[in-house]
Copies of this chain bind each other. A is one copy, B any other.
């Protein structure tokens, strides 16, 4: 596995429940979340293709899982040509980490609606401004290659244009100068649909689906996600507390139910088309926008991850054991079966409504010897679990030009509830009970929130702080 972070950690944990795997982890530092579970750990930067080749030739893996985006995708393509099995396939991995290629795959190959978009380069301020103006305000500026929302900027007015350009330069992966300027869709709900391409008993690829996962981001990075057997709890219009913007008056329950049903089916349909266009086997996280316009449900394709998705960690608690997104990925890529629920169109049903909420290392808390407070108080709450990634240190990336700091994700809270909103509220309250400190920072720090974040959090939480 190239990349051994928290998503890989659960893949390897699940592999240890089906004891036939020999696990090799590669990452930039020793003692990664997945590395500590592996049989063997290698440490190097995966933008170094030669190092990747060295470990592949030495270990001769049956399956190569790219777990992160910061990877030499050209080397993956070469290795695949030589006969190595890359998950889901080298081309899909390359497409999904390039905002231009994935956008074109979604719009042109899969035929799914997308927001309007223009390309530009950060090297040319005039061209950049032109593209922004073509799309109109508000719009989003994103580097073609970056991960976890890095470099993404919401351009609200003319004044933001220069900030957005600087930000994209800073956070682009490698030396990429290209950006995509996207129309800002006033969506009703944003979801991740996990589509799983896997073999059936005849050796043919079929697609299974999880129930759509609701979520929100802060600074373009996943912050909270939720799922329920009853999708009308968040589809197509998420309850006010779940997303940020002011809502139109909510539709009547009966209409809501009808719309949710329509949205759900269209979500599966769109995910099927996108993942068919990408090919291979494994879990894909399809990021989609849902918008109700003139009584009709529209699905917009945004991005797609050719692997388990941050927001999909809710399946660690919502799905039956052995069927969370990590185990589904593992089954799919190993040619193992995924239970067929023919009567339900291959839907893996959650057991109950559930949610996740991240907890991060506050800005001041850097370095090694991390300590936590609040654990006992959280763990005694029924229906709550702390999933701590066990990262040995915390590290922050500050961007002085736009005054924003990315905080390191240390773990998540998993919560069950009687409905999705209650679960989300529980997870959020628990996450905000965590205090942290480190060797460099002896003072206990609370979970920070950006201005943007406060709006997405519950009133009760905001009131208390």
Specify which chain B residues have a CB less than 8 angstroms from the CB of A341 in the assembled complex: 382
- The secondary structure that dominates the A interface is loop
Known: A37-B37, A339-B380. A13 touches B9 (CB 8 A): no
Known: A339-B382, A375-B336, A379-B339. A36 touches B16 (CB 8 A): yes
CB distance from A199 to the nearest CB of B (A): 9
Q: Is A187 an interface residue (CB 8 A)?
A: no
Partner of A19, one of B351, B376, B378, B390: B390
Nearest residue, chain B, Cβ from A200: B380
Q: Is A391 an interface residue (CB 8 A)?
A: yes
CB distance from A184 to the nearest CB of B (A): 37
Q: Is A393 an interface residue (CB 8 A)?
A: no
CB–CB B337/A380 < 8 A? yes
Assembly of this chain: how many copies? Answer: 2
Q: Is A388 an interface residue (CB 8 A)?
A: yes
Q: Is A20 an interface residue (CB 8 A)?
A: yes
Specify which chain B residues have a CB less than 8 angstroms from the CB of A17 in the assembled complex: 13, 385, 387-388
CB–CB B416/A384 < 8 A? no
- Which residues of A, 329-362, contact B by the 8 Å Cβ criterion? 331, 335-341, 351
- Which residues of A, 382-423, contact B by the 8 Å Cβ criterion? 382-391, 411, 414, 416
CB–CB A387/B340 < 8 A? no
**A17 and B16 alpha carbons, distance in the complex (Å):** 13
Q: Is A234 an interface residue (CB 8 A)?
A: no
**A337 and B378 alpha carbons, distance in the complex (Å):** 8
CB–CB B13/A16 < 8 A? yes
CB distance from A278 to the nearest CB of B (A): 24
Known: A18-B388, A19-B388, A414-B321. A336 touches B13 (CB 8 A): no
Specify which chain B residues have a CB less than 8 angstroms from the CB of A331 in the assembled complex: 379
CB distance from A10 to the nearest CB of B (A): 8
Q: Mark A316-328, 1 if CB is under 8 A from B, else 0.
A: 1100111100000
Specify which chain B residues have a CB less than 8 angstroms from the CB of A37 in the assembled complex: 16, 37
Specify which chain B residues have a CB less than 8 angstroms from the CB of A391 in the assembled complex: 19
Which one of A16, A39, A381 has the highest number of Cβ atoms from chain B below 10 Å of its Cβ?
Answer: A16
Q: Is A201 an interface residue (CB 8 A)?
A: yes
9 A-B pairs in the complex with CB atoms less than 8 angstroms apart: A9-B16, A13-B13, A13-B17, A19-B389, A21-B390, A320-B385, A321-B414, A323-B385, A339-B384
Specify which chain B residues have a CB less than 8 angstroms from the CB of A337 in the assembled complex: 375-380
CB–CB A321/B39 < 8 A? no
Q: Is A88 an interface residue (CB 8 A)?
A: no
Partner of A18, one of B16, B384, B386: B386
Specify which chain B residues have a CB less than 8 angstroms from the CB of A380 in the assembled complex: 201, 337-340
Q: Is A308 an interface residue (CB 8 A)?
A: no
CB distance from A2 to the nearest CB of B (A): 20
**A378 and B336 alpha carbons, distance in the complex (Å):** 10
Nearest first, the 6 A-B pairs at minimum CB distance are A19-B390, A322-B385, A337-B380, A337-B379, A339-B382, A19-B388
Q: Is A66 an interface residue (CB 8 A)?
A: no
CB–CB A390/B317 < 8 A? no
Q: Is A306 an interface residue (CB 8 A)?
A: no
Specify which chain B residues have a CB less than 8 angstroms from the CB of A33 in the assembled complex: 19
CB distance from A67 to the nearest CB of B (A): 16
Nearest residue, chain B, Cβ from A31: B39
CB–CB B411/A19 < 8 A? yes
**A388 and B14 alpha carbons, distance in the complex (Å):** 11
CB–CB B320/A383 < 8 A? yes
Specify which chain B residues have a CB less than 8 angstroms from the CB of A340 in the assembled complex: 380, 382
CB–CB B20/A388 < 8 A? yes
